[in-house]
Structure 1
Amino acid sequence: VHKPYEFEIELVHDSACLDFAELLGRPACLGIADKSGGVRHVNGVIRRFTQLHTANVRTHYLAVLVPRLWFLGLVTDHRIFQNMSVPRIIEQVLKEQNFTGDSYAFKCFFDYAPREYCVQYGETALHFISRLCEEEGIYFYFEHFQDRHVLCFSDREGGPLIGGESLLRFHPGAGTETDAPTVRTVELRRTIGSDACTFREWNFEKTRLNLEVGQLEADPLKAPVPVGMTLEQYHYPHLYQLQKDGNRYASLELLRHFSLSRRIEATTDVSRMTPGHVFELHEHPRPDLNDRWWAVRVTHRGEQPQVLEHEAPDRGMTYIASLMAIPDSTRFVPASDHPKNPVIGDQTAIVTGPGGEEIFPDRHGRVKVQFHWDRLGAFDEKTTCWIRVSQGWAGGQYGTMAIPRIGQEVIVSFLEGDPDRPIVTGRVYNAANPVPYPLPEHKTRTVFKS
């Protein structure tokens, strides 16, 4: 879950001269037989193809099958999204790479407010999508069909049932085989995580507002911690400017720590086991394990040696899957594995505004700019969010006020290195806006000229 899958498939062929160009980037489907009589399909795209060795007239090849989403890890960009929710941003990125409407689905329960300003700063499209999902508590998984695979986004507990029979018997077997698919081994794991989360923020428009929020899980069954300790995670800053949003993010952070705190590690011969899908275990000697479980990770290993007639004529097909699963009543919040790319140092940008205007501020003296890396901006009043401007002196209705003019070049810093938090900290001359008098002839002059 929340990662592109990858299948390595060793193949044999009569030809030692396959044309790789006809295979790379092409859709393919792997069929895995199941003891239930059905076939589990794994649909994807071939991203790598390797010729191995030739033996007994047969040539061995290795194909690597991945989802279309994997290729977004090869696409980087610097761009700005404004007044769009996270699902809308993700959908736009997918559509730009020709993801059709039947190749992805949003199955989210919660509504997501538009973000005023959201920057993809040198991130791959895959990293960007993953980060936005992690920030909002959304995860993705895949549904497979013979002719396509579907990228699904969700924020719900649990998910769809695995294909075919989802009620699976625990049967350790001690090496014996059964005709029906079973779960062979189960290990229950509990881990300790943080039981408290606190965020703090600052809103310059509401300076008296305390934007510190916190969540504490006091139930020791949900959050077992050493006696007398509070394992608090404290973060500043975060993504909110209103307290209600801060409470939501703090709750998500706490859920993130609980997501994998109670889980099972299991092995099974059920080839239909798929991340993001649910199965039900029964006949385990520990009653609380006979429950519905949601697969987070699955590793498959199978062999079909009988196709190599000269090497293993008497060996049948073998298959085993190792998996990690959590109770399907647990809301899964993905780990924050994709941090935002920081802006290292300052940048310069050009002040922008509507045509026919010389100055374009808001009531706080903020301006908008066009960054040099922004290839989609139109040098108008929609290029960025409103950006605060540093002045030489600022107090309660006193100080200095020199608003940058449209077309001037300004120095932009980023609070905490965050590309979503620009602030104008200086102004510089350039060829289009030269110094006010000849230099170095008049180098002794000090001038303030408007």
Structure 2
Amino acid sequence: MFEDKQMPITLNLTGSPMDLRVLSFTGHDALNEPYRFDVDLISSNPHLDMDSLTGTAAWLAFGVEHAGVHGLVDGARQLYAGTCLSLYRISLAPSLLNLEQARQRRVFTGLSVPQLIIQLLENHGLNQDSYRFEQPVGVYPPRDWCVQYDETDLHLLQRLCEEEGIHFRFEHSPTGHQLIFADDPASFPERQSAIRLQRDESTDNQPAIGYLSERLTMHAGTDTHDPVWHRCRSSDARSLTTAQSDAQGATNQPFDTGTDTSRPGDEEAHHRQTSARTLERLRCERRHIRGWSSHCALTSGQIIQVLGHPVTLFNDQWLLVKVRHWGKQPQVLEGCDPHDMAGILGAAVTAAHEQQAPWIVQLSRLPELETFEHGYRTGFCVLPWAMTFRPSCTHRKPGVRGGQQVTLMADAAEFGRSGNAWRAPVRYDWQIAPSSPEDHTCWALADLPDLAEVSVSELAAGDRLLVRHFDSDPDKPVICGVLAHRTAARVAESPETAILLNGIHLEKAPANIHLNSMDDLLFEAREDLRLSTAKATFELSSAGITITGPRTVTLQPCLLPEVAPARSPNTLRWEDDLRLTEHPGLQGAPLANRIWYIVFMSIPGLAHLPRLEPRHFLYEGRTDERGYLGLTCAQMRELSARYCRSPKHLCLVHPDRCITLQDYFAQNWSEQRLRAFMEQD
């Protein structure tokens, strides 16, 4: 780290001996968003290994009062290589950005939103010291189910916070940063000293606000986004009008307070809370107040007191919602080679024109922020502290197009009711096998009297169904058809028979079981087993296997040798190999004749492929006509050992796609299959 009394902006990289001096930086932080700071640094060494800095903790200090930002190096690159000086750019981001690695499809059941958020954070290694929840004031009942459909964990976390009106922010110190969740406006910290409005900077060297005003605009009259599916409640069914018993009575009837004085339940309280917070969100979206300051300790989530504004209305307490930071210290280039100086400044200007969010662009157009050349500036958006802050719903729920194949998890007699429709528990084909039938189960509406010539009352556990989604909402599945019901196999029910479908234990033998090419069916029975279809019967007993139909076949049991012959290390069964298909869950057409690689990546993602060295490429090949990679048994054993050591850093790469093996196994393999893979010798 370079230190100089004339250079208050410094960068401290933990454990790094590199001599890097800060030329300038830009950054933004906002409520309910991960922050990002891009720092331009100069060094006399044009051959620094910037890739080695990825994931390094850093502290960017930019002023007095211990102001600064702590983060992890999310990216590092060289912008200009000169003879005497070179320019580098390092990007700092929070550990929360780990949740943006890959898109997933999952179903969560029986969890409240705070519980869901904690599970998402802990799945990515964020321990309890890296986040905290302020004392909540709202009601968050468990959701029957919550579907994550082709969205990252970060997108899901932000969407849930926006739906429930929960905000999050960050607190920084030289040793770390902490993520803070809250729903109470009183939880925002307040600055102890007020900040005065001062338009003439030459009169005083103290940090001040140079501009603060409100922009008035026209807004849309309606809000088409409904973040929460409000299910039918008994109170909604009450009639809005009542017949008058006395036709001659006055129209101003006395107010009837009602006889129900009991406290509302969690569901009713949550419904009222959602309505109130939606109104608070709409109020926040209709205020556009912005300004700039030379104060270096302003961050989103702070409450500041403004004094000295000519408009009395603005001499109030304000909540910082969005903050844009600029820092420049061109004095570090004094005495440098003019050619290098011109190249460095030109490269910095070119890199600064990268795509930015609209609110950042609007703040950048303030006159003072466009022209200043030295020091520190902050552009910000604020709201009155008296106005309750609720985040805008900018992270929309992904839509589901087309039909989805599911498996029914219960008989029709166990269906629930939702208004006038039935609710049937189903499990999508792209879900991993849960430990019990209740885990990861979604409830689909079955409100049609006849489904592909099969009535709702005839549906049984194990049936294969087709669902679509109302309004393309993944949380609103509706059963619209039964697949291959007439060709189902009939199972003889026996109390001694255990049936596992895709690893799920069925409590009772269903009347019908529908299987596709990728389903696994396991029977465990102490007695003889008998399966029957419309044209054939399959019997398994200690005497052998008998298949009765147009042609009867009987197979007698044979004695196996004590030692099974060893299998060649160059042969591998198809079901043991990895396979590529169009959609997760091994669904869709196979990706045949496609080049693939299994690589080691410290940070997964296609954007980081150019940084890999030859030693990072572990296996490569081309898929066959069925989409299988063609790994040998020896390669699978070696891959198993590598995966046990670093499950989050092994990636499967093929054209336009990069997925970690951890995510691949979660989407395509059952827990039993993954456990067998990891326990290989």
Do these two structures clear the TM 0.5 threshold for a shared fold by scoring above it? Answer: yes
* Distance verdict in 2 for CA 1:387–1:360, change over 3 Å: farther
* Distance verdict in 2 for CA 1:273–1:400, change over 3 Å: same
Higher relative contact order (CA 8 A, sep 6+): 1
Check if 1:405 corresponds to 2:478.
no
The one of 185, 195, 199 equivalent to 1:172 is 199
Check if 1:29 corresponds to 2:69.
no
Which structure is higher in helix share? 2
Structure 1 residues 383-431: Cα deviation after superposition (integer angstroms, max 9, x where no partner): 414433345359xxxx954332222211122222221122222211278
Matched with 2:470 is 415
Matched residue pairs, number? 398
1:295-310 pair list within 5 angstroms: 295-310=320-335
* Distance verdict in 2 for CA 1:204–1:251, change over 3 Å: closer
Check if 1:20 corresponds to 2:47.
no
The one of 441, 458, 462 equivalent to 1:384 is 441
Query: Amino acid of the residue matched to residue 248 of structure 1?
Result: Q
The one of 103, 106, 109 equivalent to 1:79 is 106
Measured in 1, the distance between the counterparts of 2:302 and 2:443 equals 44
Check if 1:182 corresponds to 2:214.
no
- The 3-state SS of whatever aligns with 1:117 is strand
Measure how far apart 1:256 and its partner are. 1.3
Q: Percent identity?
A: 28
Measured in 2, the distance between the counterparts of 1:142 and 1:287 equals 31
Matched with 1:257 is 282
Measured in 1, the distance between the counterparts of 2:377 and 2:239 equals 51
Query: Amino acid of the residue matched to residue 462 of structure 2?
Result: G
Give TM-score scaled by structure 1 length: 0.79
Measure how far apart 1:71 and its partner are. 3.0
Measure how far apart 1:157 and its partner are. 2.2
Give TM-score scaled by structure 2 length: 0.53
Measured in 2, the distance between the counterparts of 1:177 and 1:300 equals 23
- The 3-state SS of whatever aligns with 1:402 is helix
Query: Amino acid of the residue matched to residue 42 of structure 2?
Result: V
* Distance verdict in 2 for CA 1:5–1:202, change over 3 Å: closer
Measure how far apart 1:352 and its partner are. 2.1
- Of 362-371 and 414-423, more deviation after overlay is shown by 362-371
Query: Amino acid of the residue matched to residue 101 of structure 2?
Result: L
Identify unmatched segments of 5+ residues in structure 1. 213-240, 440-450
Matched with 1:221 is none
Measured in 1, the distance between the counterparts of 2:424 and 2:36 equals 47
Measure how far apart 1:46 and its partner are. 1.2
Measured in 1, the distance between the counterparts of 2:229 and 2:124 equals 36
Measured in 2, the distance between the counterparts of 1:260 and 1:363 equals 40
Matched with 2:317 is 292
The one of 150, 167, 179 equivalent to 1:151 is 179
Query: Amino acid of the residue matched to residue 71 of structure 2?
Result: G
* Distance verdict in 2 for CA 1:281–1:201, change over 3 Å: closer
The one of 426, 436, 440 equivalent to 2:481 is 426
The one of 338, 351, 362 equivalent to 2:415 is 362
- Of 62-71 and 260-269, more deviation after overlay is shown by 260-269
Q: CA RMSD in A?
A: 3.4
Measure how far apart 1:347 and its partner are. 0.9
Measured in 2, the distance between the counterparts of 1:26 and 1:377 equals 37
Query: Does the Cα contact within 8 Å between 2:305 and 2:318 map onto a contact in 1?
Result: yes
Query: Amino acid of the residue matched to residue 362 of structure 1?
Result: F
The one of 118, 123, 128 equivalent to 2:146 is 118
Measure how far apart 1:154 and its partner are. 2.0
Measured in 1, the distance between the counterparts of 2:239 and 2:383 equals 34
Query: Does the Cα contact within 8 Å between 2:408 and 2:427 map onto a contact in 1?
Result: yes
Matched with 1:334 is 391
Check if 1:109 corresponds to 2:137.
yes
Matched with 1:40 is 67
Measured in 1, the distance between the counterparts of 2:132 and 2:426 equals 35
Structure 1 residues 3-27: Cα deviation after superposition (integer angstroms, max 9, x where no partner): 1111110001222111123201222
The one of 34, 42, 46 equivalent to 1:4 is 34
Query: Amino acid of the residue matched to residue 52 of structure 1?
Result: L
- The 3-state SS of whatever aligns with 1:31 is strand
Structure 1 residues 63-106: Cα deviation after superposition (integer angstroms, max 9, x where no partner): 11111122322232111111211111011000111111121122
- Of 182-191 and 333-342, more deviation after overlay is shown by 182-191
Measure how far apart 1:317 and its partner are. 5.1
Measured in 1, the distance between the counterparts of 2:217 and 2:533 equals 66
Larger Rg: 2
Query: Amino acid of the residue matched to residue 72 of structure 1?
Result: L
- The 3-state SS of whatever aligns with 1:128 is helix
Measured in 1, the distance between the counterparts of 2:456 and 2:86 equals 76
Query: Does the Cα contact within 8 Å between 1:260 and 1:326 map onto a contact in 2?
Result: no
* Distance verdict in 2 for CA 1:401–1:341, change over 3 Å: closer
- The 3-state SS of whatever aligns with 2:92 is strand
Structure 1 residues 186-232: Cα deviation after superposition (integer angstroms, max 9, x where no partner): 113344557888989875685971599xxxxxxxxxxxxxxxxxxxx
Check if 1:139 corresponds to 2:167.
yes
Matched with 2:641 is none
Identify unmatched segments of 5+ residues in structure 2. 1-30, 241-265, 339-371, 489-512, 516-531, 537-681
Matched with 1:279 is 304
Measured in 1, the distance between the counterparts of 2:233 and 2:273 equals 21
